[in-house]
Amino acid sequence: MNANNPAAPCGVLIVGGGLVGASLAIALDAAGVSATLLDAAAPRRDAAPSDEERNLALARATVNGLRAIGVWPHAQARATPIIRIHVNRTGDFGSARLDADRHGVDALGWTLPARELGQALERRLEACHTLTRLAPAELQALEPVDGGWRATVRTPEGIRTHEVALVVGADGTESFVRERLGIAAERHDYGQTLFVCTLTPERDPAGRAFERFSDEGPIALLPLAERRAGLVLTVPAGQAEEVAALDDAAYAALAQRRFGWRLGRLARPGRRQPWAIRRVAATRLVGPRAVLVGNAAQTVHPIGAQGFNLGLRDALTLAELLAGAEDHGAPALLEAYATRRAPDREGTMTMSHGLVQLACLPQPLLAPLRSLALLAFDRVPSLQRQLARRGMGFRGEPPQAVREPLP
């Protein structure tokens, strides 16, 4: 309740129950903040393995956060630790390696199929005490009222309205909330299509994740349970149809040519899912009694594996500020959120974008510089340490829930 105006709307409306909105709802429930979570899609308790082929690389900080809000126990049995990350560019001489043991940790992060994270969140949501959940329920309109917003929501039972002190836009890349707030978004089309699938390499990746850059676009391979690996292969958008039509053998051959033979023969590619790649960044994170989190705030190139990691830090920072606040939409609170998220957000977006731009530019003159940069990361201890900390998701002023003392 708002002590200055007891009649003012109260509570938080989270629009979008994707990975980030669901995480925020759980964190608010745990902190005793009254919230409503709505999603246009119905909850999926029965996702079959083939429904979602994405495999997420979760930074160490993310796993700390998921543990703190009680989600990780539902997911950890399906997760695989990343103990080494290897980065290089085809044709350049430099390469960089990050090793968990060199940085005094048991894992730099973990991989987890996206559907497993979705299921774990779903299970944890079912145990929430104070959260109100509406799904399917689509936000159709937002109007300002004294001390908050009136939201018009369409459900199968009919139209409902909610008056709330704070609206959180967790509604993804094409956020309705962002548009309704009049917040512009900067867009960049990478002209690339990304294919994700799971395959079996001849040699066990054994906890090693690989990122390779080439003129044709980046490729990443993540270690998974049962000796499988998650492959993320980027192709120029103009070749997407041709690649989508390849049979398994031809696709495995393409993956082999792009990835190389480091793990022996790449076999048994599973179902392939194409994704168009864009960068969409909101020019502001907050509006009057409204805030953006996750992909609604920033959608980044997936090859850096930063989208959910960044979005969870948005969600947990916001939950930390809302816990115990009298007025959930107070301008000072929202400004504090925007200020705290700025260094992490800008640093991560610049790194993701810059890396893809530099690593994919085919200018031969840049090759020695790229190689030197990779060698420097590999050999200079202070750079290594900085890169490792950032790679593990400890950047800017992280939310309390993700922190841990590192050696």
- Residues of the shown chain interacting with ligand FAD in the complex, contacts defined by CB under 6 A: 15-21, 38-41, 54, 56-57, 138-139, 170-172, 176, 194, 196, 275, 294-295, 302, 305-309, 311
Report how far residue 312's alpha carbon sits from residue 57's, in angstroms, rounded to the nearest whole number: 13
The residues that bridge with 183 in the sheet, in sequence order, are none
Cβ neighbours of residue 400 under 8 Å, at least 6 residues apart? 316, 320
The residues near 249 (Cβ < 8 Å, ≥ 6 apart) are: none
Smallest separation (angstroms) from ligand FAD to the CB of 230: 8
Nearest approach, Cβ of 346 to ligand FAD (angstroms)? 17
Residue (192 or 306) nearer to ligand FAD, CB: 306
Tokens encoding 373: 């940069």
Q: How far is the CB of 382 from ligand FAD (least distance, A)?
A: 26
Structural tokens at position 349: 């977006």
Min dist CB 127 to ligand FAD, Å, is 20
φ and ψ at residue 343, rounded to 5 degrees: -65, -40
Residue nearer to ligand FAD on the CB measure, 214 or 348: 348
> How would DSSP label each residue in 202-213?
SS--TTEEEEEE
User: Least CB distance from residue 66 to ligand FAD, whole Å?
Assistant: 12
Please report how close the Cβ of residue 222 comes to ligand FAD at its closest, in angstroms.
7
Burial (CB < 10 A; 0-12, 13-18, 19+), residue 188, is middle
Residue (of 307, 237, 270, 314) closest to 65 by Cα position: 314
Tell the smallest beta-carbon distance from residue 114 to ligand FAD (Å).
6
Nearer to ligand FAD, 94 or 172 (CB): 172
If residue 153 lies in a helix (H) or strand (E), which one and from where to where?
Answer: strand 148-155
Nearer to ligand FAD, 105 or 305 (CB): 305
Please say which residue, 119 or 306, places its beta carbon nearer to ligand FAD: 306
Element (H, E) at 175: none
Q: Say if CB 18 and CB 26 are below 8 A apart.
A: no
Judge residue 46's burial from the number of C-beta atoms within 10 Å of its C-beta, 0-12 exposed, 13-18 middle, 19 or more buried: exposed
Distance CA 277, CA 301 (A): 6
Half-sphere exposure of 199 (CA within 13 A, CB side): 28
Nearer Cβ to ligand FAD (16/287): 16
Task: State which residue, 350 or 363, has the beta carbon closest to ligand FAD.
Answer: 350
* Terminal alpha carbon distance of the chain: 43
- Rounded to a whole number of angstroms, the minimum distance from the CB of residue 312 to ligand FAD is 8
Closer residue to ligand FAD (CB): 192 or 384: 192
